Amino acid sequence: MLDRLSFPQPWLSLTLFATWQFLSDGISGGSVVLGIVLAWGIPQLTRGFWPDRPAVIRGWRAPAYALRVLWDIIVASVEVAKLILSPRQPRPMFICYPLELDHPLAISILVSTISLTPGTVGADVSDDNKLILIHSLDAEDEQEVIDTIRARYERPLLEMFR
């Protein structure tokens, strides 16, 4: 019974509570009550889906990674825009990317990053978490795409999650 009333993930609960306060129009009694209900209910409902936490999270590396991804989104969006407006046909390719990361949370961040940066969509993760299938909009060479993702995104994530 007490277990049902607990907060299994304090940081998630805190984030949810703060987010709700920012989304409501100013802090009031109602927004605080609803915020507490959400901060309790959402972690309780989703607790079965969360993977175990990685042993080490180096959080101070996250802002640098986020800035790099943001910059890449802008640069690559311009390239996709050019491709869409140019008369030549794109050269799409399916690429199997061998993962070095093994933690589920890190993998989902990597796949999201791949999907957000224009030119590539993360299509699937293999059942044993060893491969990702990437669809690339306009690729010259399979190895080139793999090397870029390895150097720009996977290595920093490897540093971040141990």
- Residues at the interface with another protein (CB under 8 A): 19, 22-23, 73-74, 76-77, 80-81, 84-85, 89-96, 111-116, 118-119, 121-124, 126-127, 133, 135, 137, 142
Q: Which is nearer to another protein, 3 or 128 (CB)?
A: 128
How far is Cα 80 from Cα 30, in angstroms, rounded to an integer? 45
Q: Which is nearer to another protein, 142 or 150 (CB)?
A: 142
Provide the CB-side half-sphere exposure for 63 (13 A, CA).
1
Q: Which is nearer to another protein, 6 or 15 (CB)?
A: 15
In the bound complex, what is the minimum distance in angstroms from residue 80's beta carbon to another protein? 5
Q: Which is nearer to another protein, 13 or 117 (CB)?
A: 117
In the bound complex, what is the minimum distance in angstroms from residue 86's beta carbon to another protein? 10
Total number of residues shown for the chain: 162
In the bound complex, what is the minimum distance in angstroms from residue 3's beta carbon to another protein? 29
How far is Cα 149 from Cα 134, in angstroms, rounded to an integer? 11
- 140 three-class SS: coil
In the bound complex, what is the minimum distance in angstroms from residue 1's beta carbon to another protein? 33
CA distances from 134 to 95, 96, 113, 143 (A): 5, 6, 12, 12
Residue 132 dihedral angles phi and psi, to the nearest 5°: -120, 145
In the bound complex, what is the minimum distance in angstroms from residue 137's beta carbon to another protein? 5
Q: Which is nearer to another protein, 12 or 116 (CB)?
A: 116
CB 117 within 8 A of CB 76: yes
